[in-house]
Amino acid sequence: MILIKEHGITKNKLLTDLKLGKNSFVDWEKRGTIPSGETFNKIADYFNVTTDYLLGKTDDPNPQILEVPKALRQVMVAFEGVEELSQKQVEKIAEYTKFVLSQPD
């Protein structure tokens, strides 16, 4: 799987992270079974790509995902667990960001 190589992880790490059975890759690759829709969604979310990309319907891994500015990516990396922020926490961060941006350097 190209995405596994691109992200520098192992198949076992992917299976562990997604809580999938240890024989999943054997089933998919050797036995020709197809992952469930739920599993496809988990894999797509994990790699931040669309399910259409996983299915080979498009060469663009995330055509509908907006480009995140470099500075914002740096901020996101600094916050471990950013995916679990509540809506209220996101709003507070947005308010603080507006304040910081309004200040001179």
Q: Does the pLDDT of residue 66 top 60, yes or no?
A: no
Question: By C-alpha distance, which of 75, 78, 53, 80 is closest to 65?
Answer: 53
Does the pTM of the predicted model rise above 0.75?
Answer: no
Query: Buried b vs exposed e over 63-96: b needs ≥16 C-beta within 10 Å?
Result: eeeeeeeeeeeeeeeeeeeeeeeeeeeeeeeeee
Domain 2-54: what homologous superfamily? lambda repressor-like DNA-binding domains (1.10.260.40)
Q: Does the pLDDT of residue 53 top 60, yes or no?
A: yes
pLDDT at 68 (0 to 100): 67
pLDDT at 62 (0 to 100): 66
Beta carbons within 8 Å of 59's beta carbon, 6+ residues apart: 53
pLDDT at 102 (0 to 100): 92
Choose between 95 and 78: higher pLDDT.
95
Residue extent(s) of CATH 1.10.260.40 domains in the chain: 2-54
Q: What percent of the chain has pLDDT over 70?
A: 87
Q: Which amino acid is at 72?
A: L
Q: Does the pLDDT of residue 74 top 80, yes or no?
A: no
